[in-house]
């Protein structure tokens, strides 16, 4: 059947539809909660939680309780003032209007809330629009009052269980006059949301934990009653954003936590009583930040109590203020940068300044302008200037005496090195691409590559040619590549970027992996799904493994974070019993196997290195995916490797005086195995 094409005459007044009440939300839920998947489902929870948090931020609540029920509902309780229950002129209570009318609430202007997270008056009503049922209870005026919304229709259940529509509140029980608060329990309408949409405990946990950092002193209790075995968790933070930055910090700090607090104001033209008028907005700026070793940048931002994942004018002002103060105050007259001045490369870029930065930026003011209902990006223009000035002044004061000298100097050195690294990296990497050590396909000549690349491919890193020969013969050349190391890898924990680039072995590894290095490393560009380190089970092997892990930890960290780095566990001993090959990975295992199979200890062969294994032995113990033993390396191993590599540098390096001093100072702490005794 051919569908009739609409004609011009078909388009008339009857085609114009008016979506009444909450129908607009159900028709286009993505406009209000960002989508109908898991994130949209969580957005409903945030709307109800954030209403309670606004009460706490305004100073009227101190406790919030969030409960995930077994039947899929979510309940949020607070000890705030309670949603008003008085009647409006049309006979409906304020409680009913809050849940049934879009753009209705107490957060317009500066009456009930001087500043809040909910601004558009659609939070509670959007939850009602996308829920199959809501039970709202309010403690006010010495009683508990209840109103139920069944498929968005207000009313209450009779004792018989029948739902009776209506606007009248049910008086549930008497409570002390001093008790106030709100309880909201809602059941999401599963017909609206995707079948795989789920409420994730960890995501809700992270949200309530973050909220406590934003409202110091607020106590939130989280219950998950959907299954057995999970105890309630309590969250409270007294230190505000400084505690949050400390919570987010990963790695060794370069500075202590710098806090900036400022109160400013700006003028804004907004409609007042139907006329465009200028109003003065009071704005509180709260910033906490610190720098750590490493390349990663973590900046979280908030407006009132709402996280702004897309940033906005407050983050732009913060970043501009940081860069300006860093160049004009912190890095001014730095000797190491003078050589770059002629070429105009002596100024720090925002990326240089933010290398290793962990920061939280929060602004509080009434009626902020957001780009979209989901409030992910702040759009209020004057806030950029206020945050810029506060950040620039705060960092300048810290540099000029507010901060500890050792931290100021440490940050100056870190930013200086970031600039030098950026300039040198471009020069050196351009030169490296043309180096004769690369073959016609751009890979190191010594790399015995595999035919296929991707998640199933493996790069085997081996010590020298003695181990490379058997590895190449015993590998599956379809998916296994072999890269032999022909010299010491630079200690990336101590070396500069230039020293890493100049190290042949480090560059061979970075080039072979093919995903870049440092902040430019892209995990999706990695040519191999697994990086496997094959080192001898001796001191030299341990040293090389530490250096490799240190290089990966500092310059290709996403590999460790993604769990794509492994250390092969070659056996120490081998013997044959009635034609069957036995392997032992330790003295204890060898002794146990000897007792089980009645084998004398002198019948065991001791492997001093992978190069002593024949092709069959190496293939079976370290290459065969079904029989080999691999140990996954993690970020913790990377940190430990950096410490061990530095210890090796002291104990096995050429600086005799440093080694002697270390041994004398730590003679009771050194593991004798590291000394190859």
Q: Are residues 650 and 507 in the same domain?
A: yes
Q: Are residues 227 and 246 in the same domain?
A: no
Listed in sequence order, the residues at least 6 apart from 72 whose beta carbon sits closer than 8 Å to its beta carbon are 187, 188, 190, 199
672 within a domain of the structure (yes/no):
no
Tell how strand 480-485 and strand 580-584 pair up: unpaired
DSSP state of 69: -
pLDDT-based confidence at residue 78 (cuts at 50, 70, 90): very high
DSSP state of 3: P
Q: What is the pLDDT of residues 312-324, one digit of tens each?
A: 999 999 999 999 9
User: Domain ends where: 196, 220, 238?
Assistant: 238
Residue of 246, 538, 612, 640 marked catalytic: 538
Q: What CATH number is attached to the domain comprising 479?
A: 3.40.50.670
The per-residue b/e assignment along 317-332, b for 16 or more CB within 10 angstroms, e otherwise, is: bbbbbbbbbbbebbbe
The whole-number pLDDT of residue 646 equals 64
Q: What CATH number is attached to the domain comprising 230?
A: 3.30.565.10
pLDDT at 9 over 80: no
The SS3 assignment for 620 reads helix
For the CA atoms of 362, 365, 371, 375, the dihedral, rounded to the nearest 10 degrees, stands at: 60
Q: Are residues 214 and 119 in the same domain?
A: yes
Q: What is the pLDDT of residues 325-367, one digit of tens each?
A: 999 998 887 777 776 666 566 788 899 999 999 999 999 998 8
C-alpha triplet 351, 356, 362: angle, nearest 5°: 85
Residue 182: its H or E element: strand 181-188
440 within a domain of the structure (yes/no):
no
Q: Are residues 214 and 246 in the same domain?
A: no
What is the number of domains present in the chain?
A: 3
Residue of 47, 75, 377, 536 marked catalytic: 536
Q: Are residues 167 and 218 in the same domain?
A: yes
User: Domain ends where: 238, 263, 281?
Assistant: 238
Q: What is the pLDDT of residues 408-467, one digit of tens each?
A: 999 999 998 888 888 776 666 555 554 434 444 578 888 999 999 999 999 999 887 777
Residue 540 annotated in active site: yes
Q: What is the pLDDT of residues 29-51, one digit of tens each?
A: 888 888 899 999 999 999 999 89
Q: Are residues 380 and 463 in the same domain?
A: no
Residue of 328, 540, 589, 640 marked catalytic: 540
Residue 536 annotated in active site: yes
What mean pLDDT comes out for the span 359-382? 86
Q: Are residues 199 and 307 in the same domain?
A: no
C-alpha triplet 103, 107, 111: angle, nearest 5°: 130
Q: Are residues 325 and 395 in the same domain?
A: yes
Residue 538 annotated in active site: yes
The token pair at 474 is 């015993």
Residue 237 and residue 263 in contact, taking contact as beta carbons nearer than 8 Å:
no
The SS3 assignment for 507 reads helix
The SS3 assignment for 252 reads coil
Q: Are residues 520 and 390 in the same domain?
A: no
Q: Are residues 137 and 205 in the same domain?
A: yes
pLDDT at 222 over 80: yes
Listed in sequence order, the residues at least 6 apart from 503 whose beta carbon sits closer than 8 Å to its beta carbon are 489, 490, 495
600 within a domain of the structure (yes/no):
no
Residue of 355, 463, 505, 617 marked catalytic: 463
Residue 51: how many other CB atoms lie within 10 Å: 26
Q: What is the mean pLDDT of the chain?
A: 84
User: Domain ends where: 207, 222, 238?
Assistant: 238
Residue 360 and residue 351 in contact, taking contact as beta carbons nearer than 8 Å:
no
Q: 390 is in which domain, residue-wise?
A: 242-428
Bridge partners for 607 per DSSP = none
612 within a domain of the structure (yes/no):
no
Q: What is the pLDDT of residues 128-176, one digit of tens each?
A: 999 999 999 999 999 999 999 999 999 999 989 999 999 999 999 999 9
561 within a domain of the structure (yes/no):
yes
């Amino acid at each position: 059947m051919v569908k009739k094409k609409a004609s011009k005459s078909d388009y008339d007044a009857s085609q114009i539809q008016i979506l009444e009440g909450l129908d607009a939300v159900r028709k286009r839920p993505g406009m209000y909660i960002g989508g109908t998947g898991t994130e949209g489902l969580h957005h409903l929870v945030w709307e109800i939680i954030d209403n309670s948090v606004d009460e706490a931020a305004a100073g009227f609540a101190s406790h919030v309780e969030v409960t995930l029920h077994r039947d899929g509902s979510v309940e949020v309780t607070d000890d705030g003032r309670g949603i008003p229950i008085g009647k409006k002129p049309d006979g409906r209570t304020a409680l009913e209007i809050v849940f049934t009318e879009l753009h209705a609430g107490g957060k317009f202007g500066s009456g009930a809330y001087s500043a809040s997270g909910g601004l558009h008056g659609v939070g509670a009503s959007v939850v009602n629009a996308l829920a199959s049922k809501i039970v709202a209870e309010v403690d006010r005026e010495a009683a508990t009052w209840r109103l139920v919304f069944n498929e968005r229709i207000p009313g209450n259940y009779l004792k018989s269980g029948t739902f009776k529509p209506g606007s009248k509140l049910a008086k549930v029980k008497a409570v002390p006059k001093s008790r106030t608060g709100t309880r909201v329990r809602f059941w999401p309408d599963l017909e609206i949301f995707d079948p795989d949409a789920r409420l994730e405990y960890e995501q809700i946990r992270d949200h309530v934990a973050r909220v406590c950092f934003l409202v110091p002193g607020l106590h939130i209790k989280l219950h998950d009653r959907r299954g057995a075995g999970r105890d309630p968790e309590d969250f409270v933070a007294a230190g505000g954003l400084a505690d949050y930055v400390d919570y987010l910090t990963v790695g060794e700090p370069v500075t202590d936590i710098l806090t900036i607090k400022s109160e400013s104001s700006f003028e804004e033209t907004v409609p007042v009583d139907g006329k465009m008028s200028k109003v003065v907005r009071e704005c509180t700026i709260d910033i906490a930040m610190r720098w750590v070793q490493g390349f990663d940048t973590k900046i979280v931002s908030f407006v009132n109590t709402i996280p702004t994942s897309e940033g906005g004018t407050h983050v732009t002002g913060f970043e501009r203020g940081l860069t300006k103060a860093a160049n004009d105050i912190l890095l001014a007259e730095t000797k190491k940068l003078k050589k770059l001045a002629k070429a105009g490369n002596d100024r720090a870029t925002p990326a240089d300044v933010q290398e290793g930065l962990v920061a939280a930026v929060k602004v509080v003011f009434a009626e902020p302008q957001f780009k979209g209902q989901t409030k992910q990006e702040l759009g209020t223009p004057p806030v950029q200037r206020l945050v810029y000035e506060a950040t620039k002044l705060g960092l300048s004061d810290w540099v000029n005496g507010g901060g500890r000298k050792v931290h100021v100097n440490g940050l100056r050195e870190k930013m200086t090195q970031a600039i030098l690294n950026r300039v040198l990296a471009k020069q050196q990497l351009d030169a490296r691409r043309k180096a004769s050590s690369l073959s016609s396909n751009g890979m190191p000549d010594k790399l015995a590559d595999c035919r296929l690349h991707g998640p199933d491919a493996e790069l085997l890193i081996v010590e020298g040619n003695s181990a490379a020969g058997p590895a190449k013969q015993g590998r599956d050349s379809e998916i296994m590549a072999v890269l032999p190391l022909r010299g010491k890898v630079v200690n990336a924990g101590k070396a500069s970027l230039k020293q890493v680039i100049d190290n042949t072995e480090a560059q061979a590894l970075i080039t072979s992996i093919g995903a870049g290095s440092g902040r430019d490393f892209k995990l999706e560009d990695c040519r191999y799904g697994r990086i496997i380190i094959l080192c001898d089970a001796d001191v030299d092997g341990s040293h090389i493994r530490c250096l490799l892990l240190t290089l990966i930890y500092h310059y290709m960290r996403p590999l460790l974070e993604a769990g794509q780095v492994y250390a092969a566990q070659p056996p120490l001993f081998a013997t044959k019993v009635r034609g069957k090959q036995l392997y032992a990975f330790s003295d204890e295992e060898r002794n146990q196997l000897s007792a089980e199979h009645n084998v004398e200890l002198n019948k065991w062969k001791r492997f001093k290195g992978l190069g002593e294994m024949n092709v069959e032995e190496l293939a079976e113990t370290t290459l065969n995916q079904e029989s080999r033993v691999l140990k996954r390396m993690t970020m913790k191993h990377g940190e430990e490797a950096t410490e061990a590599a530095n210890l090796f540098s002291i104990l096995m390096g050429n600086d005799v005086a440093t080694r002697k001093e270390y041994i004398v100072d730590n003679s009771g702490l050194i593991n004798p195995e590291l000394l190859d005794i």
